[in-house]
Amino acid sequence: MSPGNLHDEPRILNTLRAFIAVDLPPDVRTQLDAMTGRLRCLPGQECMRFVAASGIHLTLKFLGEISPDLAAGVHNVLDDAASSVPGFTIRIRGVGCFPNSRQPRVLWVDLDDPRGMLKTLQRAVEEGCARLKLLAEDRPFSPHLTLGRVRREAGAGAGAFVRSVLESERTLDFGEMPVDAVHLFRSDLRPSGAVYSRLHSAALGGGT
């Protein structure tokens, strides 16, 4: 996700750019901010466009532009999906890149989901969205937190920089993070960056 701020109770217009995600607790955002601060000090970092920690989410599904009526249907999808999955924890550790370290495009922090609960939640969301005729994701779900993207004008040095990050941060471990709710977010693109609004939240396990 791109940099942004989070606000509740937004004003909904005719269409909205939306996505479904798990929000991150403040301590995780603090650690991500510290990490990107370290990376900005490394030689070659100018090849990257880093994401502000305030704008990082654990995205389960990007919806694109949808109508308010469809958003209301997604509320029900989230309620149903969340009620079918109990709360759980994941571990935030390790770094990686897409598609590979020779020609990287995205640098990310890895998520350890040993019980497969995050994938179970994402699958429940995907199945519910399919009932609303929303297109399925065109690639397998690969949970991660995006740290930054390689600039289009970056040259061959981007690969060397990303490989140096993979080596220097290979022992990264932020510890466990609870997952107790799933949210529908709206993203408003502005010159200063995206502004995120929470449209709906559903507690896992049918909690409140």
Interacting residues of 124 by C-beta distance below 8 A, sequence separation 6+: 80, 81, 84, 85
Helix (H) or strand (E) holding 8: strand 4-8
In this structure, the chain runs to a length of 208
Phi-psi region of 64 (alpha: psi -120 to 50; beta: other; left: phi over 0): left
CA angle 195, 198, 200 (to 5 degrees): 155
Where helices occur in the chain by DSSP H, the ranges are: 26-39, 68-83, 117-131, 157-168
Residue 99 and residue 142 in contact, taking contact as beta carbons nearer than 8 Å: no
Catalytic positions, written as ranges: 57, 144
Distance (Å, whole) CA 2 – CA 55: 6
Task: Using alpha carbons, list the distances in angstroms from residue 181 to 50, 53, 122, 127, 144.
Answer: 27, 20, 12, 18, 17
204: three-class secondary structure by DSSP = helix
